Amino acid sequence: MKKSTKITLDLSGLKKGGILKQRQKDYFILRTRIPGGYLKAEKLPKFMQLAKRYGRGYIHLSTRQCIEIPWIHIRNLEKVKQELKKAGILTGACGPRSRNIVACPGSSVCRFGLSDTEKLALKLDKKFFGIDVPKKFKIGLTGCLNSCAKPQENDLGFLTQAQPQVNLDLCTGCTLCAKVCKEICSRGRREPAIIMGENKRPVYKKELCFFEGDCIRVCPVDAWSIKQLGYSVFLGGKVGRFPMFGYRIAEFVGEEEVFKITRKAIEVYNKIANKGERLGEAIERLGIEEVKRQVL
Amino acid sequence: MSQIKPDQILDLKGVPCPLNFVKTKLKLEEMQTGEILEVILDDGDPIKNVSGSIKEEGHQILEAEQIGSHWKLIVKKNQES
């Protein structure tokens, strides 16, 4: 009888390289990673080539902005990994590790973006991708309160906010700022932070503001501008079977603090959570005040 | 109340985004630097979006005034960037 060469692979180890076992025997999905969803177009032909030669001619765009190539046969896994490495394409992660960082394009091209989340995602990825954790760790960066990158659904989310200020010498009294503020605040059943005062000039109340910045965007004569820019930090968000929004634990943090908080959040997660437990679940167990104290 | 007399007037009542911006941009391209264009826009998205877009093109908005359910923008054409 012919002895067949069995390919023995450590499946749990494979997950680190972004290789997921498919439903079909001997086939695997190769997950690459694209921090912040930013990919140089010159790399696209490589994905096509690999999908055609080793996959089934199609790719899947994951919900964390990565390209996945399904239908890779087990005997081709090493080959494909080598080709990806040669092409400078990063591999993704699954299993108990920190995952691809999702981000909106931010101020690089988006009209609403208040910060360069795209660039920040790349920087954070270099330091914090693929770290072992109890279950998984997801980071999301978003450039404005449209929250396209869903910071509140990630274990750690950073949301850019802008505190406005007005130069009354430039103001022409068009009332657009107060109008826009009232419209938006009424959707959240909040009191507007800007009301028209005497001489058709706006009056700003910081304590009522939630720093979303449409007053600055809408002002036709640039009387409104940004006084302070920073990130709101959300901790413990998740979806899955028992979704929960992240808790807001800090406001207006600068970029340096973003790195510090990310490092601490992963450290604390590793310290307090049981194996298989999400950060949000550990927070429910210990209480947010305690976890916040440890992270900040 | 604006005392500035416009060189041209563009009535964009009922014109949706981004067509209103495109028409404004094209109109400004026909004009000389320094000339004044008056644009009438609908309330809502048009006034919010078009003023921002005009500024991004490099022009200056001198005034914005609400008149009933519309808005009047006074735009000064700046040098093409």
* Complex-level ipTM: 0.84
Which residue among A111, A176, A180 places its CB closest to the CB of B64? A176
**CB within 8 Å: B63 and A175:** no
Which residue among A172, A174, A217 places its CB closest to the CB of B52? A217
3-state secondary structure B9-64: EEECCCCCCCHHHHHHHHHHHHCCCCCEEEEEEECCHHHHHHHHHHHHCCCEEEEE
A175 touches chain B (CB under 8 A): yes
> Binning pLDDT at 50, 70 and 90, where does residue A248 land?
very high
Which residue among A175, A217, A220 places its CB closest to the CB of B61? A220
Mean pLDDT, residues B36-41 taken together: 97
d(CA A229, CA A257): 13
Alpha-carbon distance B21 to nearest alpha carbon in chain A (angstroms) = 14
- What order do you get walking across the sheet with A139-142 strand by strand? A102-103, A139-142, A156-166, A224-235, A247-253
Q: How big is the A-B interface in CB pairs under 8 Å? A: 31
pLDDT at A9: 57
pLDDT at A13: 58
Which residues of B are identified as catalytic?
17
pTM of the model: 0.90
